[in-house]
Amino acid sequence: MRFWRIIRGAAAAMAVIVFLSACATTKVINSWHEDRYQGPTLKRFLVIGMSSNPNRRRYFETAFSKELTAAGLAAEPSFRLIPEDDITEEKTVIEAAVAQSDADAILTTRLVDISREQSYVPPSFDYAPLGFYDYYYPTYRMMFRPGYVVTNTTVILETRVYAAHTKKLLWTGSTRSFNPTSADRVVEELSGIVVKELARYGFIAARE
């Protein structure tokens, strides 16, 4: 089945994310949703971080589940039900985890790309006023600003949401985070985007 081929092919380095610079901005760069879905609203999510690294997987699943719970949804990190370090080939254990958690939705996220680009900011001269009396007699001092190198980090993640019982894809989106400062920040922004998108298309109940 297509669902399991995607699961097997998504063993990405989930948290190789290196965090630099000042503030994270996570935005959707493309998305798709099933507009013919007629099922009930989703309430219980099984969260799967697609990584063969157990520490990265546990971190992501715990953080994302916490954010979904804060949004009023039930969420279960898959590592609590699937202890295997690498779940990318484990069709039967994933199916068992879905049944055990009584989830009606499966959420998966994988790292698509992480890139770093350096750019050089050339030297410059600025002028600064000197003293209190500059209001009457403007006097300026020349200030030299040396050149420096800026490193920009971009992280692209792909998130998919499936109906647990049919394994049909309901929503998928790719997001770009520019210069994120922490993994927590990325998960917070990503989960907020996912919740908003799912509510927008009627997959989950909108919060009042």
75 pLDDT above the threshold of 90: yes
Token pair 């410059």 is found at 124
- pLDDT tens sequence across 127-136: 665 555 555 5
User: Span 10-200: which CATH code?
Assistant: 3.40.50
Band (pLDDT 50/70/90 cuts) for residue 87 is low
| Residue 105 to residue 3: CA distance in whole angstroms | 13
Q: Can you give the residue ranges of every domain in the chain?
A: 10-200
- Of 119 and 85, the one with more pLDDT: 119
pLDDT band at 188 (very low <50, low <70, confident <90, very high): confident
Residue 123 — very low, low, confident or very high, per pLDDT cuts 50/70/90? confident
**Is 43 a residue whose pLDDT tops 90?**
yes
d(CA 69, CA 72): 5
Q: What does the alpha-carbon distance between residue 124 and residue 187 come to, in Å, rounded to a whole number?
A: 38
| Per-residue pLDDT, 50 | 84
In which band, very low, low, confident or very high, does the pLDDT at 22 lie, cut at 50, 70 and 90?
very low
Instruction: Specify whether the CB–CB gap between 156 and 175 falls below 8 A.
Output: yes
Lowest mean pLDDT of 116-120, 144-148, 173-177, name the range: 144-148
Q: Would you report the helix, strand and coil content of the chain in percent, each value rounded to 5?
A: 30, 35, 35
